[in-house]
Structure 1
């Protein structure tokens, strides 16, 4: 039995990021990953020369992900896509009011609606979201906007930025902070997100991290922690970082009933989406690159317009239907809706189809702090000393990948501090 100072459950974004920080600080670390490959939901699959992420992914400019990657010296190639596109309402295409010229020209809004939306967007640029307090997104929006179509367009922008639906159940401050970040642009990565996972993995290994591809069966608190693996192996460590979901973390830790982990997993709900990705030899309508559904919770984006996602020049298009916390959606109905949306944007797309990927019920986040009732805990679990949590379900004000990176940095900083303090490891 090899002993380590720290064990990390999960080899996705958070797990690999924390592994780099810990091993760089000289802390012997093992990453325990149940899958055959690393990356989790950030993996990229190559199909017929096209690079498919596990659903549409983008990094927010100026977010925690960008900051952490810069700090770790990981450079990514890719591009920031143009937001020129379409708004879809009642099956018809309108100019998306994403800039002053498109706002003036769109027929989606009345003249008074254009003026009102323009005022809202100007206000958003200078708004301090924290000043809003604990109001819901619907409460804030209805106090700021009188035109129903303006509110519809605004809510569509919000769900595109957060992957959340239901403005009455969202915290306005968190959502508007994310919308502001989205106004700075997003970044699509050449080769898909595997181009980010691979250097994270290599950095961790270069600094000495061990990676074990086994499922953890249980985590037992003794003098430190005893981690039992599916193959019968045992790993004993003074510190454990779980980057698994709240439900999975609760299930792994023996004696977690009645602890803060129990409350956390009951309050922090996963966010789902139905995701359709296709690779097309050429676009039937080359000018139709991006669209947001106004009366449908759907996003259409040609990620190839800003990044290299195929070896042969084909276009990789992603569509998302936001499902919120709905754990019982109709997979076939969602698929038809996404395909019909694609047909509206790219008529005859099936004749150009090279490969196809449909993920009917993907977890896009293990919990969003944008939702009312979200319970933030961590990075240290207060009633289980030596146990830490990270992942996109452990965000504070960050969402999605930003939450995964930021929480990993917070957790590893505390773990490094514990190792630097003599006697603290024995106390754990």
Structure 2
């Protein structure tokens, strides 16, 4: 195998974006993906003509992923859904108080609650989220929001924006920033599912000179305090001095001898993965034609009709998505599936007769970690301090970003640092040759 400057392990969004930046900087980069297709959790499955993502996926239009795709010149077809919809409270659907008129007419809130919710919605965008470095989302909400029902509504916004149900540990700053992005910029649903994003990132990286190898498994990152190579399946060793592991902390630790004595072990031990139960349905028609969006207030559930603005079928059918945001700890997959089906019963009676395909993912990993109370390193990565030449990226390596934006931002941070380190190494080698 020809020599490379950098090996990227993992063909998800973080790895693909990093490979694009590295190849764009003129570096010889190889991306290794153990699976037969790229994308990771950005992959898309096709069933009976429907394109199902691995759980609900939305691009935040003010986020780092959207910015990277624009910079790369990767255009996507699709659309942004309206914010009007329904709120679910005690198994009843109420019109969501998303504008002043609907707020005043809402039966969910008392008069004082309506006034407080109006105040919160007006001031949310002005909050300096960077100053909230140590408070949990619940600490912030309990202090700033007096009305219990308004707090319920706020927590529902937080779950929906962050895909995480852990207000006691989530840092308030990043969570509030994500809510701001959601309300100010909205989200985008992509035609054909997120596989289109992964495929276009791969195509661009290859055009720039990157080697992309699917079905290639990394077995061990060789090191003696410095990266010395990468052992691959089949006994082959790739001679490379810089490795970017765009993987979960657990997966990186399995590849690195003595990882428990490095920052990798700490990142792994302190991680709080967010998990969700996801139900995707392909329907011949939407039973209740005006119900495209619903947010659970007393249950951590969410419903959206992706086909309202994006093309996700090849035959005119409709793809809808439901999610139950699970907290930390165990859950009952069957009970979660029943809850999601009951949510459909409430919103769209008769949906079973319209179903032509379904996909249920009982324990879908949303992110492998997120900014939370008790994390020693508020900004993990990209460098692994104890092993020169080793870098880490992924949705967990957040410096305040969340979800796919964390994956994109961490991949770009790692690539920028690798380019800088390679330049410094090159200068050192030239100086050594001059004075040799």
TM-score range, shorter chain: over 0.9
Structure 1 residue 400 corresponds to structure 2 residue 403: yes
TM-score of the pair, normalised by structure 2: 0.95
Number of the residue aligned with 2:54: 54
Number of the residue aligned with 1:339: 341
Post-superposition CA distance 1:176-202 (Å, at most 9, x none) = 111100102111111111111111000
Number of the residue aligned with 1:279: 282
Number of the residue aligned with 1:359: 361
Structure 1 residue 206 corresponds to structure 2 residue 210: no
SS in 2 for 1:67: helix
Contact kept? 1:238, 1:425, Cα under 8 Å: no
Number of the residue aligned with 1:70: 70
Number of the residue aligned with 1:414: 417
Contact kept? 1:225, 1:240, Cα under 8 Å: no
Structure 1 residue 218 corresponds to structure 2 residue 250: no
Q: How many residues align?
A: 426
CA distance in 1, matches of 2:132, 2:248: 30
Contact kept? 2:134, 2:373, Cα under 8 Å: no
Unmatched 5+ stretches in structure 2: 431-436
Number of the residue aligned with 2:351: 349
Contact kept? 2:135, 2:373, Cα under 8 Å: no
Contact kept? 1:79, 1:188, Cα under 8 Å: yes
Q: Classify 1:425/1:16 alpha carbon distance in 2 versus 1 (closer, same or farther; 3 Å).
A: farther
SS in 1 for 2:8: strand
Contact kept? 1:418, 1:424, Cα under 8 Å: no
Structure 1 residue 268 corresponds to structure 2 residue 271: yes
Post-superposition CA distance 1:369-408 (Å, at most 9, x none) = 1555363321111111111111101011100000010111
Contact kept? 2:3, 2:240, Cα under 8 Å: yes
Structure 1 residue 379 corresponds to structure 2 residue 382: yes
Q: Classify 1:298/1:424 alpha carbon distance in 2 versus 1 (closer, same or farther; 3 Å).
A: farther
Post-superposition CA distance 1:325-357 (Å, at most 9, x none) = 33x311111111111111111111011101000
- Aligned-residue offset at 1:163: 1.4
CA distance in 2, matches of 1:424, 1:335: 58
Q: Classify 1:399/1:426 alpha carbon distance in 2 versus 1 (closer, same or farther; 3 Å).
A: farther
SS in 2 for 1:396: coil
Number of the residue aligned with 1:316: 319
TM-score of the pair, normalised by structure 1: 0.96
Contact kept? 1:5, 1:237, Cα under 8 Å: yes
RMSD: 1.6
Contact kept? 1:86, 1:94, Cα under 8 Å: yes
Contact kept? 2:259, 2:265, Cα under 8 Å: yes
Number of the residue aligned with 2:161: 161
- Aligned-residue offset at 1:366: 1.2
CA distance in 2, matches of 1:374, 1:109: 40
Unmatched 5+ stretches in structure 1: none
Q: Classify 1:425/1:174 alpha carbon distance in 2 versus 1 (closer, same or farther; 3 Å).
A: farther
CA distance in 2, matches of 1:307, 1:260: 41
CA distance in 2, matches of 1:358, 1:342: 14
- Aligned-residue offset at 1:99: 1.8
Partner residue of 2:306 out of 297, 303, 306 = 303
Contact kept? 1:44, 1:193, Cα under 8 Å: yes
CA distance in 1, matches of 2:28, 2:61: 33
Number of the residue aligned with 1:330: 332
Number of the residue aligned with 1:193: 194
CA distance in 2, matches of 1:231, 1:38: 21
Contact kept? 2:96, 2:106, Cα under 8 Å: yes
- Aligned-residue offset at 1:257: 2.1
SS in 2 for 1:389: strand
SS in 2 for 1:62: coil
Number of the residue aligned with 1:288: 291
Q: Classify 1:299/1:370 alpha carbon distance in 2 versus 1 (closer, same or farther; 3 Å).
A: farther
Contact kept? 1:268, 1:374, Cα under 8 Å: no
CA distance in 2, matches of 1:98, 1:298: 18
SS in 2 for 1:283: coil
SS in 1 for 2:366: strand
CA distance in 2, matches of 1:308, 1:87: 26
CA distance in 2, matches of 1:370, 1:279: 36
- Aligned-residue offset at 1:422: 4.0
